[in-house]
Amino acid sequence: MKEGLLWFDNDPKRKLVDKVDRAAKRYRARLRRKPTVCYVNAEEFNIEIDEINGIHLKPANHIRPHYFWIGVEQDTISAKAA
């Protein structure tokens, strides 16, 4: 992913599903497209949940806790262009 939306949510009462859903809604509102991937801090990543509403979750060591980098996977863009 070359570009995306960096979302911050440190609310301890909010579940991961809700955090990603809120980030996805903001992404769609700003960029007018549906996100396909969300990078999550590796320590916060839950192996049991790897997809939320069609958005694939991926663990990443370079993402700080409580941040979510959401966007469209580069492979998806390349496949549509071909």
Q: Return the domain boundaries, the chain.
A: 4-81
pLDDT tens sequence across 17-55:
999 999 999 999 999 999 999 999 998 887 788 899 999
Which among 71, 79, 82, 78 has a CA at the least distance from the CA of 1?
Answer: 71
Q: Rounded to two decimals, what is the model's pTM? A: 0.84
CA distance 52 to 75: 19
